Structure 1
């Protein structure tokens, strides 16, 4: 499942589609409806890529709302934010009418998933290791000039199955994106079905729990929790500093031990005073 993702890039950066230099995007329809966010949730407005029309290969970006209604009622609790790849390939249910002509690509930096550990839910962020834009396969719906979209999910890859049993379908090449968006034939094919496979080679790490709150917003949501000032790495660094300080103190104490021992072994008398003075000097130094 994919219930939250990030796209905190500025609009000019989004238009450039980092990592896809040959993918030319024309106009951005309803651009002003989108605000860059690191915590995009269902019902949010976000950009997707689609063909301008079926007869033209020209691509455009368009801001749409996340979530396609099950029926004619646009109720928030009666909408699909994800579409299972298995149902799409079978042409089952509501997705049959979208798969041939209403295909799109959802632009993101990466997506969030929660790992269940006992009663705890630990959010993780998954992205391309090289930092390029993550393009997720999607379908869109049009009703009364309102555009809505859903993200297609598939079974998780072997490398991510520990996190969740599903993941978004990620299109990793220019050719795959072009093929997915080509709706000129108005038909579904086995070749399109082959694109709906789990992607490998992604990087995944734990992120702050604050991302779980809808409406919360921070660029730290896409940063590893271990590198935060209050994170695990910081805690280990403090421990290492403390341990190194303790070791240094022990070394100094050991280096002074022979001197202190010799002072204690000298007979009492006038010489004691000179030794006492040396001891005081050593203490000051």
Structure 2
């Protein structure tokens, strides 16, 4: 799952960090959608219902634009479907911060945006996840491994980015128009998958991370890449790194560099042994019982000893009767 992120770059730097090549091979930095640059604010501890920087196809806003062109927008975290008929979006009764990849083609909340091509990429320095062990929760900060790049001044190449590589998470968005006729609200959800082997010891779910610009291009270009083809990009990846962080991140009101700083986890002490337990442990370590060899002696047969079978009362009676039969019958006395 994904319930907290960090994105600390200024709006202009977010644009530079998302530089890409168009179909003609020209390098471009996506521009912020009109009015959206002021809706995004850098944060070390971003929670649902706040605005995040989101990358999507320019064609969603300009019908005559090529679907491969990109634009930046500030969207609210937690998808509000276009058909939601309440006046207040906070009355949405379902949690839509994340959507599972294995059910998003079936659930009405996500099925419509998916098949209408409303695919987006949520940008972040990294995200937080909590490992639960012995009823204790330890937060971890998870992000792309960082590769050092050559320094380059803006005058040499205004599209060159010397900073960190942003995490690119696949998502879906929708547009909700308030019944009162106010400004449309753009919201998104983060797609989640089973955690990869490098991360499943922390949590069993993780965001669907798009690793590399080619994966980002295919996910965003809904005009050229059909839905079924794009869904092949949604899977766990191993190319991530992480470190434990302070529990101050547990409170979303805490927003400082300390949230992402690595900490050293204290070693857990073994429970103290009492005198009898310690004595028993010493004995077990020094005098472990040896495994006895199996006994191969076979039980002797009765015939080996020449013993006659035990006589029973029935057999004795038979012998007596036999003797009686063998005796001659007494002669009758003559009168």
The bucket for the TM-score relative to the shorter chain is 0.7 to 0.9
Q: Are the aligned partners of 1:43 and 1:76 in contact in 2 as well (CA < 8 Å)? A: no
Asked if 1:149 is matched to 2:149, the reply is no
Q: Are the aligned partners of 1:49 and 1:60 in contact in 2 as well (CA < 8 Å)? A: yes
**Which digits, 9 at most, give the CA deviation of each residue in 1:98-130, with x for residues without a partner?**
113110000001110011012211110111111
User: TM-score of the superposition, structure 2-length normalised?
Assistant: 0.63
2:199 pairs with one of 145, 160, 168? 160
Asked if 1:47 is matched to 2:53, the reply is yes
Q: Distance in 2 between matches of 1:186 and 1:155?
A: 24
Aligned to 1:200, what secondary structure does the other structure show? coil
State the number of aligned residues. Answer: 226
1:87 pairs with one of 65, 78, 103? 103
- Bigger CA radius of gyration: 2
Q: Distance in 1 between matches of 2:172 and 2:29?
A: 18
Mark the runs of 5 or more structure 2 residues left unpaired by the alignment. 22-26, 147-163, 178-183, 268-335
Query: Which residue of structure 2 lines up, in the alignment, with residue 269 of structure 1?
Result: none
Q: Distance in 1 between matches of 2:20 and 2:258?
A: 27
How far did 1:64 drift? 0.7
How far did 1:77 drift? 4.8
Q: Are the aligned partners of 2:80 and 2:175 in contact in 1 as well (CA < 8 Å)? A: no
Mark the runs of 5 or more structure 1 residues left unpaired by the alignment. 234-285
1:59 pairs with one of 70, 84, 97? 70
Asked if 1:201 is matched to 2:216, the reply is no
Relative to 1, partners in 2 of residues 1:149 and 1:82: Cα closer, same or farther, differing over 3 Å? same
RMSD across aligned positions (CA): 2.1
Query: Which residue of structure 1 lines up, in the alignment, with residue 219 of structure 2?
Result: 180
Query: Which residue of structure 1 lines up, in the alignment, with residue 134 of structure 2?
Result: 118
Query: Which residue of structure 2 lines up, in the alignment, with residue 272 of structure 1?
Result: none
Q: Distance in 2 between matches of 1:76 and 1:214?
A: 21
Aligned to 1:33, what secondary structure does the other structure show? coil
Q: Distance in 2 between matches of 1:24 and 1:86?
A: 34
Query: Which residue of structure 2 lines up, in the alignment, with residue 238 of structure 1?
Result: none
**Which digits, 9 at most, give the CA deviation of each residue in 1:136-166, with x for residues without a partner?**
0011010111100111100000111101110
Higher helix share: 1
How far did 1:81 drift? 0.3
